[in-house]
Structure formats: C-alpha cells, structure tokens
Amino acid sequence: MNTAPSSPERQALLRFRRNRWAVAGLIFLLLATVLSVFVPWMLAIDPNQGSDSPFTAPDGRHWMGTDIHGRDLFSRVMIGTRISLMVGAVGAGVSLIIGVGWGLVAGWRGGRTDAWMMRSVDVLYALPTVVWVMLTLTLFETRCVGWLSERWPSSIPAFRLAAMMVSLGSVSWLTMARVVRAQVLSLRERPFILAAQSIGVPPVRLMLRHLLPNLVGVILVYLTLTVPAVVLYESFLSFLGLGIRPPQASLGSLIADGASQLNPVRVRWWLLVFPAGLMALLLAALNGVGEGLRSALEPREGDGD
C-alpha cells in the first residue's frame, strides 16, 4: 500500500462528514442560527408589538399564531431561538473557560494544589445547583442592578441576560474540570511534554501550546453535551419564574408559558407545539453533532456507513 497517510484532523473530518445525523444536525444548527438572526430583521415584525387579535391560531398573517397580547408568535420564536442559542453558547463558553482552566492547572500542578482544587469541586458538587443559581440571580438582581441602573439604565436587560449566562455557566463547569484534569494527568507523562519541559519551555506556554491542542477533542465533546444542558436548565428556571425576563423571550420561557396549554379545558396548541418542537429539534441537532464529533475523534468498531 502506498497511499500517503492523511493527517488525523483530516481523517476526523472525513469521518464526521460520513455521519448523516451529524451533518444534518450541523446544517440545522447553522440554518437556525442564520434564520433567527436575519428573519425577524427582514420581516420587520416587532416581537413585542401587541395587537388587537390575541390568541389567534396560525393563519396567513401570523404563521405561528399570536399570544395573549396579540404578539406574533413566529417572531417571538425566532428571537427565542436566538436567545436560547446565545444562552447555550455563552453559558457553555463560561463553563468551558472555568472548567478547562481549573482542570489544566489542577492536572499540571498535581500534588497539594491538585488535591485542594479537586476537593473544591467536590464541595460544589455537593451544593445543589438550583440553590446556587437562585442565590446568584437574586443577589445580582438586588445588589448589582441598582448600581448598574444608575450608570447604564437602558442596558439593564442585557446585563440581566449576561448574569443569567454567567450563572448557568458557573454551575456547569464541574464535569469539564474533572475530565480535563484526568486528561492532563495522562498527557503529562507523554514524551513530547517531558521533552518540552526539559528544554525549558515555561509552564503557561506549555499548557497553551502543547497541552491544549490535545484536549480539543475531549473539550468539544463535552461542550456539545453542556450546551443542551444549559438550554434545558434555563427552561427549568423560566418554569420557576427566574429565567429570561419579559418582554424578552427564550425558547425555554416560551415553553414554560406554553406548558399551561396542556389542560383539558382549552388548548391553544400553537403556543406550545412551535416553541417545544423547535427546541426539541435544536437539542436533537446538538446531540447529533456531539455524537458525530465523538465518533469522528475517537473512532469505534461499527461506526461510519
């Protein structure tokens, strides 16, 4: 055999491309992102504009019907998708930064530092996350908002959104930290690292230039697991009344509102079916991409077509 071996990255990409679900998922995600950004802007329908036709079923004018204020559900769902994706991405991003940083340092330093850092992770594991999130969100609302509203009053909703994303990210990094640490521990003994150390490469540079690239696979996989978890968590918070604030909407808050339509008296199905359906598709797509990434980066018997 004399074919030149292609690089591992190239091979991974090829494997990914062959996985139908993963590709479909990726396309859907890109489509959803693009549409949710551009469609409301193009159609120029204000998602917060009430009208005099509340609770109308889907028709030519309102493709997904209207809610109690007569607001067009389609544009709200588009905005909601945008915000949900943003919350998921940034939340996962925050957990990425904290988790990878934590795991890197703990795994690299080892010994005492490692022990303390991982014990803290254990402590945080033991603290029920819901309590933590409620605490931080309420503290932000009461302590920070007052201070912020004096300086930038019109950006308060943006700050709230940011606080929510940071808060969600801050409870999702634990598993990432553990996984990264385990990986670093095993990588640390590899010849190429030892060699770099012996020629005097400073630790920070080592971590960033040599360790990090090897962690990308694991990180990517956990990222695609974290994003759906964050999105669902936000949905749960909306259900409790702590999530995205009105008049902003996320898919999660739209679903939490729509859940009341599951009653035997009067079902306005469009208020639940559209947001929940879209969220289900998004999560399924995220999962598909995650699966695809995992099997692309760590091939197994029986994978591929």
Partner 1 sequence: MKSWQARLALIPVLVWVVATLSFFLLRAVPGGPFDRERASASREVEAALKARYHWDEPLWRQYARYLGNVIRGDLGPSLKYRNHSVNDLLGQTVPVSLTLGAMAFGVAMGLGLPLGTLAALRKGGWADHAASLLTLVGVCVPVFVLGPLLILILGLGLGWLPVALWGSWKTAILPTLTLGIYFAARVARWMREGMLEVLKSPHVQAARAKGLSETAVILRHVVPVALVPVISYTGPMLADLLSGSFVVENLFQIPGTGAFFINSFFSRDYTMMMGMVLFYSVLLQVLNWMSDLLLRWVDPRIRS
Partner 2 sequence: MGPWGAVRALGLALIAGAWFFAGCSQAERADLVLHNGPEPETIDPQILTGQADGRIASALFEGLTRFNPTNGKAMPGLASHWDISADGLTYTFYLRPDARWSTGEPMEADEVVWSWRRAVTPATAADYASQFFCVRNGRPIVNGEIRDTSRLGAEALDAHTVRVHLENPTPYFLELAASRVFFPIPRRAVEHLGDQWIRAEPLPCSGPYRLLGWRVNDRFRLARNPHYWDAAQVTAERIDILSGDNPSTALNLFLKGEVDLISDRKIIPGELGPELAQRPDFHRFDYLGQDFIRFNTTRKPFHDARVRRAVAMSLDRPRITARITRMGERPSAAVTPAGAGGYQPPPGVPWDPVSARRLLAEAGYPEGRGFPVVEYTFNVGSRIYEQTGVEIQAMLREHLGIRVELRPLEWKTYLAEMSALNYDFIRGSWVGDYDDPMTFLDCFLSDSGNNRTGWKEVRYDRLLQAAAAEVNPQRRLGILREAETLLVTEAVPVTGLYSHVGLYAADPRKIGGIWPNRMDEHPFFSMRRIRP
Question: Binding residues for partner 2, per CB under 8 A?
Answer: 48, 50, 54, 68-69, 138, 141-142, 146, 149, 153-154, 156-157, 241-242, 245-247, 257, 260, 262-266
Residue 229 and residue 252 in contact, taking contact as beta carbons nearer than 8 Å: no
By CB under 8 A, residue 129 contacts partner 1: yes
Q: Tokens for 145?
A: 């908002």
By CB under 8 A, residue 144 contacts partner 1: no
Nearer to partner 2 by Cβ, of 157 and 304: the residue is 157
Going 236 to 240 to 244 to 247, the CA torsion angle's sign is positive
Residues 182-201 as x/- pattern, contact with partner 1 by CB under 8 A: ---x----------------
Candidates 255, 271, 296, 297: give the one binding partner 1 (CB under 8 A).
255
Binding part of the chain for partner 1, among 40-48, 162-170, 193-201, 227-235 by CB under 8 A, reads 227-235
Residue 36 and residue 282 in contact, taking contact as beta carbons nearer than 8 Å: no
Candidates 1, 4, 126, 199: give the one binding partner 1 (CB under 8 A).
126
Nearer to partner 1 by Cβ, of 56 and 136: the residue is 136
Nearer to partner 2 by Cβ, of 202 and 241: the residue is 241
| CA dist., res. 249 & res. 158, Å (int) | 12
By CB under 8 A, residue 28 contacts partner 1: no
Residues 67-106 as x/- pattern, contact with partner 1 by CB under 8 A: ----------------------------------------
Position 63, amino acid: W
Binding part of the chain for partner 1, among 4-12, 43-51, 204-212, 297-305 by CB under 8 A, reads 297-305
Nearer to partner 1 by Cβ, of 4 and 123: the residue is 123
- How many binding residues for partner 1 (CB under 8 A)? 42
Contact positions toward partner 1, by CB under 8 A? 119, 122-123, 125-131, 134-135, 138-139, 142-143, 175, 185, 228, 232, 235-236, 239-240, 255-256, 259, 262-264, 272, 276, 279-281, 283-284, 287, 300-303
